[in-house]
Amino acid sequence: MASDKPARRAVVTGASSGIGAEYAAALARRGWDLVLVARRADRLDALAGRLREGCGAGVEPLVADLARSPDLARGAERVTADDVALLVNNAGINGYGPFTEVDQALLAKVLDVNVVAPTALTRAALPGMVARGRGAAVVNVASLLAFAGSLPPGPLPHRAVYGGTKGYMVTFTRTLAAELADSPVRVQVVCPGLTATEFHLGTGEAPVGGEARVHEDGGMPPADVVAASLAGLETGEVLCVPGLSDPGPLTGLAEAELALRNGSGAVLADRYRAADARAGEPQ
């Protein structure tokens, strides 16, 4: 006899290590079945085996490089299935380096993995989630470097494109959450700071090989990042900053944005009008 129990499968990208692997483990412990997406088949198979044995989860490894159009298309097709109720867009690469020196092909890959892929997967998943009319969610993993702006490198990395992609994810997610406010779908962007993973051991040109490692700078345990994200998702938190104890800056951000939008009027601001007048004066 077929079960009437609603589908409860999560798709997690970048699941072979770090934050993605922790999402997979945390969701499996909560009773979710999983589709795990990453480039490293050996890591995916090992993780899938552990979660099947330890949690009894149904796990589908999907080996894919989301920078490649055919692989992204396979992922997009999978997230349209009726059993998918949660999409975690975690895959990302950094492409760190001075903007004028980083290989342009690597920067294009950063855009493909960090922007094009999560946008395409979210677009593929959402129509079904909305139409099914029951609780579903999309979680996008960004970074506090989305807010680093003009801060110079040292100790922060050279990050113009990476920071830009994470800024996109923050704005995309917050705007989408407002658009879907009356739907059964929750949308969240999580912005961790430095996290104890292997993310900084490479630029993303190729997967980090060998056993899972942690970069020397340490940071928050990825399990804590995931715990904050899932707790925030339960309460409807759209912008989750795992290390932020006082949520006041989130309110301040919204207030600052409102003040900036007040500049959308049809009248030129006086500070520019005065400068324009001075420019026309004889020297």
Residues with catalytic roles: 162
Whether residue 166 contacts residue 145, with contact meaning beta carbons closer than 8 Å, is answered with yes
Spell out the SS3 assignment of 56-113.
Answer: CCCEEEEECCCCCHHHHHHHHHHHCCCCEEEEEECCCCCCCCCCCCCCHHHHHHHHHH
In terms of DSSP H, where are the helices of 133-195? 160-179
Chain centroid to Cα 262, Å, comes to 29
Asked if the bond preceding 61 is cis, omega within 30° of 0, the reply is: no
Whole-number Å distance between alpha carbons of 194 and 143: 9
Cα separation of the two ends of the chain:
89
Strands (DSSP E) found in the chain: 9-13, 33-38, 59-63, 84-89, 136-141, 185-190, 239-240
How large is the C-alpha radius of gyration of the chain?
21
Q: Under DSSP, is residue 183 helix (H, G, I), strand (E, B) or coil?
A: coil
Whole-number Å distance between alpha carbons of 29 and 51: 8
